[in-house]
Structure 1
Amino acid sequence: MTVAVIGAGVAGAAAARTLRRNGVEPLVFEASDSVGGRTRTVAGDECDIDSGAIFLMGSYDATFRFLRESGHDTELRRWEARAAVMDEDGKTYPVRFDRPWTFLRLPHLRWRDRLRLARTIGALSVRSGPAPFDTDGLATADDGRTLAEWARATVGDRAYEYVVRPLMGPLTGADPEKISAAFTIALMSQVHRTRLSVPRGGLGRIASWLLDGIDVRVSTPVRSLEHRSSGVRVGTADESFDVDGVVVATDVRQARALLDGVVDDDVCAALDAVAPIPAYHVLLGYDTDPWPAVGHDLVVQAGPGRHHNYGVLLNSRRAPYAVPRGGQTVSVYFDRDQAPESDEEQVVARARGAVDRAFGVATPDFHRVFGMDVALIAPTPWHYESMRRARDAMPDTIRLAGDYLSHSGIEAALDSGERAARDVLASSVSPRSVIARDRPAGGRSAS
């Protein structure tokens, strides 16, 4: 039996590992020149850089199960996530992102605000609810309300502006006025599991560990899929392969392009409706640390009105590998509404302004800009039900994997990859050898 996996991010890597553990040697295709996708850790001249994801949460059950089974849990270091909330007047107040209850100390809250928050979190923590990254559970819990609507009605306007919004904005990278409340509700029910960890050497090691010993064809984008009664034909620029099954583990836009004309129109319509969030991660580097005595690593914005970024992060305590010796790096995260410029100099200038406001004025010695057309997704109300239907309507031999199926994050990607691989394995009844052709045949092009 042969199964192709398209994409070597965490979702594809988890699918490949699951296939191999069940006696199937996966055929993994990756369009870029390295594995990891949006979790990739990029080697730089001065330091290594986490291009996307920056931590693991304690509620990542499938991820930590893998890390324990593989023995890599010993290679994690805890990040205390000492943060500061910056209000609309530019004043900062210390909190801990790994201890969300510390937000209750903010002076902007009244006693009744704190009481409503405490009661809400207490009620959520004792009830049986969905796991934060479970598509089926989130679909059931989604009642059509946005995060802003639910939070304002449940904990009040002040708690929304000074706790929910600054806490969830950096975690979701999405506008709370647009996304479903279901994920936040599920996450708040596990507030006691907010310990944050970082792999020594970078978040990109998760995909690398999952793919240990597995051959990945990098720089090999898949151009076409053809669903046949006897299996699936996978086409690259130079060859085609007849396989028993396929796990499509790309981002949602690439998946939609590959599946055009291959699956039911309803599936394509559901993927079209997913709202990708294009974003920038700007890294500014300093050969000498300008802020050696600063007490916090992360600054997030709070209060009514526009928030100009999703967080300004000093990397030295979170990820020493991401900092030149004796120096410092700062990561600034924007979506394209917050930083609409297409010119890199303007984007860097915007990032420098955010750093100056958060930590103090300093001139960087180097910078790196990561622009992503699909950095995250915005799960609008009913998104989870739409993804559940799309996932279940796929042909038995072609399955979807990716964090967009539930909510952006390593856990969602890993869990979906494992499930997609199991579904393909369960559907296959006859083994097939790989047949290489001289050129691609059939199907629709993803280009």
Structure 2
Amino acid sequence: MNKQDYKIHIIGAGISGLVAATVLEQHGYSPVVIEASDKVGGKVKTDINNGYQLDHGFQVLLTAYPAAQKYLDYKSLELQEFLPGASIFKNGKQEIIGDPLRDASLLFSTLFANIGTVADKLKILKLNTRLKNKTVEEIFSDKEQSTLSYLKELNFSTNMINDFFTPFFGGIFLENKLDTSSRMFEFVYKMFGEGSAALPKGGIKEIPKQLLKKLKNTTILYNTAVSSITDRKILLANGQELESEFIIIATEASSLIHNLKNQAIEWQHCDTLYFETESRAIKKPLIGLIPEPNAIINNIFYHTSLQTSVNDGKQLLSVTVVDNKGLSGEELKAQVQKELTELCGITSSTFIKHYSIPKSLPKLSELHYEISPSETRLTETIFLSGDVQLNGSLNAAMIAGEKAALGVLENLQGLFK
């Protein structure tokens, strides 16, 4: 049998599924990707609304991600970089802190910011150096504890934890208690230190769009939902049955395979609301943090502080809510606008769109960076992919997709012997 004749199916056209298809194509195979929606990308999507680019949730690419460097062409993405810092809204003032070693313009604001103590700022420099010299492999083999207990062990002050670490990393981990693994904290912190946070000029959707464009021998079946999977068989929601030599599940597998139904993944939820404003409360491309413990806003960002392909001429503001305290719809919008006025001095904002994202990030423990191809194999013909196999990140989604494809290839090589 020719390589192109093998029936290899990938369930899900998110980042992990697209990378799996890329690896299979590189080895001469022609996979079929089955996607329930009408476009690729999974959660990595961008809409055009009211003349603005609206990403599905506040998402960024960390340019230091090793897998992203391997599979993405950064130049053609026209990446627009954030400054390495944050603007913190505290007591009616903006306090700007950042890494002056990477951007000298942040030196004086960081030194004189009323955020943490001088000792805290020295500890941050020490942490920067420590993680720069610590390999990713060492990070993910080190002991695992909560990020909060990790920061306390490093003797950061309560104010520094509450005013900076909790809102900044709470917005990344999508939980405001810093329960997330210290491995994830160290990894993300290291990635921020070695590269930049960035967005493609055309929005986050440009990442899956680029991966799709590179695929030449892959078939994608859009608007095709999968009901269940068994060895060598895929049952579609419309009742059709597909025969398959190998199946890569690049989405949550528990609902598709009978004996995994008790292993459903728990997920973090978040809300992202977009507003149009006349001007920017934060002049530079910095994320805005809200350390007020009773606030529902976690962070804000002006997407128009970066160059965008689509711009209606005013300012586009995104607001991330990690814990909506049971508010939804109009109540949530009203509370967000109230806090924008009271905490950030943003008195005029026109609502554009609200994204409620119930499966924003997987809640995982025992986080890993790598996985061997054989470890992705569930049965002789079914392989598991997606960031849920490793850690909740774009980098992990790419690695898991690659390893699942290599797992299939290992089995195929055995057939050719």
Shorter-chain TM-score bucket reads 0.7 to 0.9
2:64 to 59, 62, 74: 59
Aligned to 1:437: none
Residue 114 of structure 1 is matched in structure 2 by 121
Shift of 1:430: 4.8
1:298 shift after superposition: 2.6
Counterpart residue type for residue 181 of structure 1: S
* 1:360 alignment partner, SS class: coil
Amino acid at match of 2:157: D
- 1:258 equivalent to 2:256? Answer yes
Match of 1:283 in 2: 274
- What is the rounded CA distance, in whole Å, between the counterparts of 1:333 and 1:19 in structure 2? 37
Correspondence for 1:151: 151
Q: Does the CA contact (< 8 Å) of 1:388 and 1:405 recur in 2?
A: no
**CA distance in structure 1 between the partners assigned to 2:281 and 2:126 by the alignment:** 39
Q: In structure 2, which of residues 387, 401, 404 is the aligned counterpart of residue 403 of structure 1?
A: 387
Q: Secondary structure at the match of 1:38?
A: coil
For each residue in 1:92-111, what CA deviation from the matched residue of structure 2 results, as whole angstroms up to 9, or x when unmatched? 21134896996963323222
Note the alpha carbon deviations across 1:190-246, whole angstroms, 9 max, x for none: 55313122222121121122122443211111111012xxx3444342421111111
User: Which 5+ residue runs of structure 1 have no aligned equivalent?
Assistant: 132-136, 432-447
Select between 104-113 and 49-58 the one with higher mean Cα deviation.
104-113
Q: Secondary structure at the match of 2:297?
A: coil
TM superposition score normalised by structure 2: 0.85
Identical positions, percent = 18
Report matched runs for 1:375-390 at 5 Å. 375-380=360-365, 382-384=366-368
SS in 1 for 2:154: helix
Distance 1:291 1:115 in 2: 31
Write out per-residue CA displacement over residues 274-307 of structure 1, whole angstroms, 9 at most, x where no aligned residue.
Answer: 4301211111235xx233883454311237x445
Deviates more, 1:277-286 or 1:104-113: 104-113
The answer to whether the Cα contact below 8 Å between 1:30 and 1:216 also exists between their aligned partners in 2 is: yes
Q: 1:291 to 1:52 in 2, by over 3 A?
A: closer
Preserved CA contact (<8 Å) 1:234 1:242: no
Q: CA deviation at 1:41?
A: 1.2
Aligned position for 1:85 = 88
CA distance in 2, matches of 1:121, 1:295: 23
Q: Which residue of 2 aligns with 1:245?
A: 246
- Tell me how far apart the structure 2 counterparts of residues 388 and 177 of structure 1 sit (CA, whole Å): 29
Name the TM-score, length of structure 1 as normaliser: 0.79
CA distance in 1, matches of 2:62, 2:284: 22
Which residue number corresponds to residue 179 of structure 2?
Answer: 178
Matched residue of 2:392: which SS? Answer: coil
Q: Distance in 1 between matches of 2:186 and 2:282?
A: 36
Paired residue type of 1:154: L
Could you tell me which of 17, 28, 31 is aligned with 2:22? 17
Partner of 1:225: 229
Q: Deviations 1:324-350 (Å, cap 9, x if unpaired)?
A: 1x2121111113x334223x2122223
Partner of residue 28, structure 1: 33
**How much does 1:322 deviate?**
5.2
Displacement of 1:317: 2.0
> Measured at CA, do residues 322 and 164 of structure 1 come closer, stay the same or move farther in structure 2, by a change above 3 Å?
farther
Shift of 1:258: 0.8
SS at match of 1:281: strand
Q: Residue deviations 1:94-145, cap 9 Å, x none? A: 13489699696332322222233322332232233438xxxxx62x22x241
CA shift for structure 1 position 359: 4.6
What SS does the aligned partner of 2:254 have?
Answer: helix
Q: 1:76 to 1:423 in 2, by over 3 A?
A: same
Task: Map 1:408-423; keep pairs closer than 5 Å.
Answer: 408-423=392-407
- The answer to whether structure 1 residue 308 and structure 2 residue 296 are counterparts is yes
Closer/same/farther in 2, CA of residues 176 and 59 from structure 1, 3 Å limit:
farther
Instruction: Tell me the amino acid that sits aligned with residue 25 of structure 2.
Output: R
How many pairs does the alignment contain? 399
CA positional deviation for 1:401: 1.7
Matched, 1:334 2:332: no
1:38 and 1:240 mapped to 2: Cα distance? 27
Alpha-carbon distance between aligned partners in 2 of 1:400 and 1:237, rounded to the nearest angstrom: 23
1:5 aligns with 2:7: no
Indicate the SS of the match to 2:9: strand
- Residue 34 of structure 1 deviates from its aligned partner by 1.6
Distance 1:19 1:249, change over 3 A: same
Q: 1:390 to 1:312 in 2, by over 3 A?
A: farther
How far apart, in 2, do the equivalents of 1:17 and 1:311 lie? 35
1:371 matched residue in structure 2? 356
**Counterpart contact for 1:232–1:397, Cα < 8 Å:** no
